[in-house]
A and B are shown apart, each in its own frame.
Chain A
Amino acid sequence: MIIQCYNLEKKAPQQQHHLLKAQSFHIQKGEMLAIQGRSGAGKTTLLNILALLDQPSAGQYYLENKNVSTLDATEIQYQRQHTFGYIFQQYWLIEHLNVLDNICLPLQYLANPNQHDHQHLTEILNVLGLNDYLKRYPQQLSGGQQQRVSIARALVCNPKIILADEPTGALDQENSEKILALLAKINTQLGTTIIMVTHDAEVASKCQRQYRIETA
């Protein structure tokens, strides 16, 4: 098991209502999972907790059999860097960095960024069709192009788990299929675990398993 979650809950700060109330679930290594649920069910909140960007109010979360509540700041930072690649729903690109710099940003925080495989980066850019936009800034790109940059950034460190929050939400049919095919290939050939939040039943059907969150 790469991820084990037991009754994860998240309450809004200084309020009583739940943002998330998830039943226990496990994710196998190399699995491709779709998380589904109504709006406000807490899908993105769950994804944030899984990516160690947020902390649950209650419940247990084990990452590679380690309880994350016992991890210190350095270990959490290491896990964010090496274990997860996060594709944000709203892209979250840095405005003053161009496309190439945005994509390479996670590499800068590695212990030795210069030893990273440049070929790997080149391949990602090629597959995502970003070669023509490398010098452009985020505000000069369309939503779909920004989404592709966000995906490239998540893939650049070759993470063990890719967390994708509506990865095809801003893309057209053709690009959606390309991205899904790419994620499926990464999953099957590299054994990368992929956890994807989606509304789209068709997209979810391409995953090996679906996990549904009921409204909190």
Chain B
Amino acid sequence: MSTSIPYRDSMNKHDAKIKPVYYNCWQEAIKSLWQQKLRTLLVGCAITVAATVVFCLLGLYQQASHAVQQTLNQLAKPGLAVVSIQPKPYTQRPQLSLKDAKLKLTKLIPQSKWTGVINQYSNGQNGMNKIKFHHIISPINFQKLRQLSVTQGRLFHPLDMAQNRFCVIGQRIAEKVKQQQPHQWPYYLSIKGRIHTVIGILEPTNFIIGMPDINSSVITLIDEQQINQNVLDYLLIDTSKSIEGKNITALISRIQKQYPEYQLQYHDARLLTQGLQQGLQKLQFLLICICIASLVIAGSSISNSLLASVLERRNEIGIRIALGAKPQDIRKIFLCETWIICLLSCIICVFLGSTLMILINGILKTPQLDINSILSTAAISSLITTGIATLAAAYPANKASKTLPIQLIKKST
């Protein structure tokens, strides 16, 4: 054929160096994206936002589920019974005799390092709720209080003690209290806005501390060892070894009789686990809903951008088809462009999403995600957004590629 070309005579050697560049679809896509920078930027932004939203939501879900799963793992041991303890109201506790009250107080005091702050009451005219303390003596070792006598008392619970809201009052204060609170023991005092339970009344003859007017004093008890560390919130009873699961109720009844000051409530570990699992599922469902909503919004934005891109280039599609392009050639152009934008957007998303996750973790003070979680989250969010973008680009491109080229060219003019 080459010998019969009529215009070969006009060729010179220099011209023979001209060689066409055959772009593959990727190279052409890069070229096209570079030429249409604004369009590329807008589509890229839409995809980045979508991928980042999915990334952050998935990351938060993983963290939340990890925390709940840890708790579940602790609880979900077979045969484990969980018994919650609630102290009974003070008034419902058995009243102690004077002897027992003394004994209880004297036993409790040496168990922890208590100190007392002696506050001297100036006058009772303002009422006990507005009691003022003007003479605060530096903390003393409460060991000395062992030598004090207690006139009355009632059994108190370690949980109460954990709150450090106890006091011992002098006789004169006690009289005032009894006038204002004519009901029976216990009495309560508001000290610096906090209600304190009176656990004992100092005998008037006691002057060991050396207070000039012990009868007008209030001694606030302070537990230095933070006794609440030793207070139980719940009991875990392993029923798999010695006790049958169904006998747990009987066991708890026995414990209840032994310790009447406790109010024991039995919770089945399996039920607790199930409850937590349901909570986790609800959380999962909520996050999935938010994820879907975000994806729908971002996906419609991506679809809109890509649809506009395809519509804008109907003329080009028509020309390409007129020049012999197959429908798959047209699809390839748009898919390659979309995938390139998706790749770049997902890379940005990983950096942006990781930074956001670090910031969120910093604000919520939650543990950091490990690298595997970040990678899997990034992969999932990238796949989802790339899938949406692919569908959004493929549908209009496919539709356009099957249209008569002259219609595409006419529509664009």
Binding site for B on A (CB under 8 A): 48, 51, 53-55, 73-74, 77, 80-82, 86, 90, 92, 94-97, 100-101, 103-110, 113-114, 117-127, 131, 134, 153, 157-158, 182, 185-186, 188-190
Contact = CB atoms under 8 A, between A and B. Distances in A.
Contacts of B225: none
A103 B19 CA distance: 12
A199 B183 CA distance: 118
Contact of B31 (A96, A118, A127): A96
Contacts of B85: none
A164 B1 CA distance: 23
Interface of B: 1-2, 4-8, 10-12, 15-16, 18-23, 31-32, 35-36, 315-316, 318-327, 329, 402, 404-407, 409, 413
A80 B321 contact: yes
Contact of A118 (B5, B20, B402): B20
B32 A96 contact: yes
- Classify the secondary structure of A's interface with B: helix
B18 A134 contact: yes
Q: Which of A51, A109, A123 has the most CB of B within 10 A?
A: A123
Nearest to A154: B323
B22 to A, nearest CB: 5
Contact of A125 (B15, B316, B322): B15
Contact of B320 (A74, A105, A122, A190): A105
A109 B327 contact: no
Q: Which 9 A-B pairs have CB atoms at the shortest separation, nearest pair first?
A: A81-B324, A96-B35, A104-B20, A189-B6, A185-B6, A109-B324, A54-B406, A53-B406, A127-B7
A120 B5 contact: yes
Contacts of B315: 92
B36 A53 contact: no
A122 B19 CA distance: 8
Contact of A119 (B16, B35, B406): B16
Contacts of B1: 117, 120, 158
A101 B21 contact: yes
Contact of B20 (A74, A121, A158): A121
B22 A80 contact: no
Contact of B23 (A108, A126, A153): A108
Contact of A77 (B324, B406, B413): B324
26 contacts: A51-B322, A53-B409, A73-B327, A77-B321, A80-B322, A86-B322, A92-B315, A92-B319, A94-B316, A94-B319, A94-B320, A95-B316, A96-B36, A100-B18, A101-B21, A119-B2, A119-B5, A121-B18, A123-B8, A123-B10, A123-B11, A126-B7, A126-B12, A189-B4, A189-B5, A189-B6
B22 A104 contact: yes
